[in-house]
Amino acid sequence: MADIQVTINGAVHGLPEGSRVQAAFQAAKVPAKGPQKPLAARFDGELVDLSFSLTKGGELAPVDQSDPAALDILRHSVAHIMAEAVKEIFPEVKVTIGPAIENGFYYDFDKAEPFTPDDLGRIEERMREIVKVAQPFQRQELTALQAVEFFKDRGEDYKVELIEDLVRDQGVRRVSLYRIGDFVDLCRGPHLPDTSWGGSFKLLSVAGAYWRGDEHRPMLQRIYGTAFFNRKDLDEHLHLLEEAKRRDHRRLGRELDLFSVSDEVGGGLIIWHPKGALLRVTLEEFERQEHLRRGYDIVMGPQILRTELWKRSGHWDNYRDNMYFTEIDGQGYGIKPMNCLAHMFIYRSQLRSFRDLPLRFFELGTVQRHEKSGVLHGLTRVRQFTQDDAHLFCTPETLDGEIKGILDFVTDLMGAFGFEFEIELSTRPAKSIGSDEAWNLATTALETALKDKGVPYEINAGDGAFYGPKIDVKLKDALGRRWQCSTIQCDFTLPERFDLTYIDNDGQKKRPVMLHRTIFGSLERFIGILTEHFAGAFPTWLSPEQARVLTVTSRADETAREARARLRKAGLRAEADLRNEKLGYKIREAQMQKVPFMLVLGDKEVENGTVAVRRRGGEDLGVMTLDDFTSLAEAEARPPRWD
């Protein structure tokens, strides 16, 4: 057999044609033990199995645990192991697909009876046995026709459909199958060398999921799980899940007495309690001031607008199912799901000159959207919410600068909370209005601004709003979870539909461009995210209660009342705990309520005119006068500013 030249780690090795990757690695003395032990390989950049036979020369690189692709290979392989276990225990089940996902994997099964928690335990047990005996992943290639026959014989209709689609949509002629034990699955691979690698896994939950994500197709049973290369990483991940549960804003919202929802009031409708409302208005006031500073005007529109307007804007055709409608004196009205219409009417209330532009209208606009019942979730998915919404009207010449200004605004505000973010550019969806030309202009404008700013972004094809493309900002919270908040949408269409114009310097009537944008997105959602991000320990400037005076005995009551009054006069949100309880009890409670500062007042302090200051978390700041405390607390008790 002819030799082929394979380059491994920079060194060229001559190998017989048809050699397996594994043998090549042996020849190149790639470690076969320890963390550098390869589990797969890259051949000229393509991921392949260790059992792959090399039929031509090329560049071969080992893929070990540290490789970015390694975890996906592991998880996908564990999904196969799970499917094998499921098929053994429930032979009547039909298998579908089982990919690796961000934090683990899932596999969808067609099974008449749903899996019970007991079933999960049995499956997990069987998986551990499979892992123990180190079944090899064996790859086999068949023609598409052979594969269809193979799966038809086994009654695996979903696999048959997948192959038929591959043939039809991608012209695929040959497909690969992977076998472990008696379980054979259609799969591109690559996979682990054998099942012994998959030891650190855990099955997490069962859920319904539509076949191919289509709500008109059958509902399948999905099992979620996760897997890591070692026990430690798995435990860390499970701990993170626990931590997320501990930080759940619905739980903290109740414990900190921020808000509630009531089934008597209705799903997805938030009731703000005093502390939550205080937090919210603090956030709102911060934003109002920051908008005024950046040249925005504050405006307010009505809650309902005539149905004709929603028809003209395109909402009736594109968004009607999500809207509430009502009738007054025989006249139809739509409750606003967005704030843009009234802002356009403010624009239209005068003849505008190019000198007036840009106009930036800002509204904390409360909108109603009829969300499907199954999607409601705490503060993050509700039916009535308030957007920090603005519409900017500008000339095509100044559009670029306005988009960049918004990007800076987003960066500042997200930075104020310690959020990092990622950006997506969403392009024209199937259901949309406006000309191709307008869409291209708008998309290019957003893209150019991102490029000029040097901001990395990804394209999210077909996910734009119906009236224009958008930049979506996904912020990352303290646990690394991503949330959609800010959005910047570029719109050439609504100005057209509502005949917005300005007189340009050549005396001609021209069409302004409209930017829709939010920064926090929805106050409700943002507060939910903040709550989880800070685990309820909000920065001092946002904390509903910033300082609490704690008395040691009732002899300090009078002084404590005076102290509270002085703190409030100094602009701090202060309370006093005068209850007949021990200091330890009061500390514990203030700590659980995440009050940033605790001021202890006992006989000594009363006598010396001081307080003993303790920070949330336990740090002892020592004994000081009230004035010293207020000047110490002042900086962090004020909202951030960029001057």
Partner RNA sequence: GCCCACAUAGCUCAGCAGGUAGAGCACAUCCUUGGUAAGGAUGAGGUCAUCGGUUCAAGUCCGAUUGUGGGCUCCA
Contacts to RNA from residues 264-293, by CB under 7 A: 266-268
Candidate list 13, 42, 280, 383; residue touching RNA; CB under 7 A: 383
Name the residue nearer to RNA (CB basis): 77 or 518. Answer: 518
Whether 178 and 185 have beta carbons less than 8 Å apart is answered as yes
CA–CA dist 191, 178 (Å, integer): 8
CA–CA dist 640, 286 (Å, integer): 8
**187 assigned to active site:** no
Name the residue nearer to RNA (CB basis): 284 or 371. Answer: 371
Whether 616 and 536 have beta carbons less than 8 Å apart is answered as no
Give the nearest distance from C-beta 371 to RNA in angstroms: 5
Segment contacting RNA by CB under 7 A, of 129-137, 184-192, 309-317, 383-391: 383-391
Q: Residue 586 has which token pair?
A: 């009061």
Q: Is 205 in the site for RNA (CB under 7 A)?
A: yes
- In the shown chain, the binding pattern of residues 442 to 481 toward RNA, with x for contact by CB under 7 A and - for none, equals ---------------------x-x------x---------
Residue with tokens 């690796």: 100
Whether 239 and 479 have beta carbons less than 8 Å apart is answered as no
Whether 276 and 257 have beta carbons less than 8 Å apart is answered as yes
Contacts to RNA from residues 518-537, by CB under 7 A: 518, 521-522, 524-525
- CA triple 569-572-573, angle to 5 deg: 110
Neighbour-count burial of 265, counting CB atoms closer than 10 A to its CB (0-12 exposed, 13-18 middle, 19+ buried):
exposed
Whether 511 and 499 have beta carbons less than 8 Å apart is answered as no
Give the nearest distance from C-beta 78 to RNA in angstroms: 18
Give the nearest distance from C-beta 527 to RNA in angstroms: 11
Segment contacting RNA by CB under 7 A, of 16-24, 206-214, 285-293, 344-352: 206-214
Closest by CA position to 124, among listed 37, 231, 222, 204: 204
Segment contacting RNA by CB under 7 A, of 133-141, 167-175, 301-309, 548-556: 548-556
Catalytic residue among 369, 564, 594, 616: 369
Q: Residue 133 has which token pair?
A: 């005996």
Binding residues for RNA, total number by CB under 7 A? 71
Residue 366 β-bridge partners? 386
Name the residue nearer to RNA (CB basis): 416 or 587. Answer: 587
Candidate list 325, 481, 591, 640; residue touching RNA; CB under 7 A: 591
Q: Is 587 in the site for RNA (CB under 7 A)?
A: yes
Segment contacting RNA by CB under 7 A, of 176-184, 409-417, 507-515, 584-592: 584-592
Catalytic residue among 336, 360, 391, 564: 391
Catalytic residue among 340, 394, 485, 490: 340
Report which residue type is found at 486: S
Candidate list 61, 166, 278, 583; residue touching RNA; CB under 7 A: 583
Closest by CA position to 542, among listed 612, 411, 408, 637: 637
**564 assigned to active site:** no
Up-side HSE of residue 404: CA atoms within 13 Å toward CB? Answer: 10
Give the nearest distance from C-beta 410 to RNA in angstroms: 13
- CA triple 235-238-241, angle to 5 deg: 155
Whether 100 and 69 have beta carbons less than 8 Å apart is answered as no
**159 assigned to active site:** no
- In the shown chain, the binding pattern of residues 245 to 264 toward RNA, with x for contact by CB under 7 A and - for none, equals -----x---x------x-x-
Q: Is 368 in the site for RNA (CB under 7 A)?
A: no
Name the residue nearer to RNA (CB basis): 143 or 262. Answer: 262
Give the nearest distance from C-beta 570 to RNA in angstroms: 21
Segment contacting RNA by CB under 7 A, of 38-46, 396-404, 551-559, 566-574: 551-559
Contacts to RNA from residues 155-184, by CB under 7 A: none
Catalytic residue among 42, 470, 548, 586: 470
Give the nearest distance from C-beta 464 to RNA in angstroms: 9
Give CA separation, 83 vs 30, 116, 190, 210, 464, in Å: 32, 16, 17, 18, 37
Contacts to RNA from residues 99-158, by CB under 7 A: 114
- Region of residue 594 (left: phi > 0; alpha: psi -120 to 50; beta: else): left
Cβ contacts of residue 499 below 8 Å, gap of 6+? 348
Residue 144 β-bridge partners? none
Whether 286 and 413 have beta carbons less than 8 Å apart is answered as no
Q: Is 633 in the site for RNA (CB under 7 A)?
A: no
Name the residue nearer to RNA (CB basis): 378 or 469. Answer: 378
Q: Is 487 in the site for RNA (CB under 7 A)?
A: yes
Candidate list 45, 171, 213, 330; residue touching RNA; CB under 7 A: 213
Contacts to RNA from residues 597-626, by CB under 7 A: 598, 600, 602-605, 612, 614, 617-618, 620
Q: Is 548 in the site for RNA (CB under 7 A)?
A: no
Helices 436-453 and 399-416 sit at what angle, rounded to 10 degrees? 50
Segment contacting RNA by CB under 7 A, of 179-187, 230-238, 306-314, 373-381: 373-381
Q: Is 19 in the site for RNA (CB under 7 A)?
A: no
Segment contacting RNA by CB under 7 A, of 16-24, 207-215, 345-353, 403-411: 207-215
Give the nearest distance from C-beta 206 to RNA in angstroms: 6
Q: Residue 389 has which token pair?
A: 């919404």
Candidate list 153, 169, 215, 327; residue touching RNA; CB under 7 A: 215
Candidate list 555, 568, 569, 638; residue touching RNA; CB under 7 A: 555
φ, ψ of residue 294 in degrees (nearest 5)? -100, 20
Name the residue nearer to RNA (CB basis): 80 or 614. Answer: 614
**387 assigned to active site:** yes
Q: Is 84 in the site for RNA (CB under 7 A)?
A: no
Q: Is 221 in the site for RNA (CB under 7 A)?
A: yes
Closest by CA position to 393, among listed 425, 432, 438, 348: 348
H/E stretch holding 133 reads none
CA–CA dist 228, 78 (Å, integer): 10
Segment contacting RNA by CB under 7 A, of 175-183, 439-447, 549-557, 629-637: 549-557
CA–CA dist 442, 476 (Å, integer): 27
**509 assigned to active site:** no
Residue 116 is classified by DSSP as P
Candidate list 582, 625, 631, 638; residue touching RNA; CB under 7 A: 582
φ, ψ of residue 237 in degrees (nearest 5)? -65, -45
**391 assigned to active site:** yes
- Region of residue 34 (left: phi > 0; alpha: psi -120 to 50; beta: else): left
CA–CA dist 445, 441 (Å, integer): 6
**389 assigned to active site:** yes
Report which residue type is found at 503: I
Residue with tokens 């990092």: 420
Give the nearest distance from C-beta 4 to RNA in angstroms: 43
Q: Which amino acids are annotated catalytic?
A: 340, 369, 387, 389, 391, 470, 516
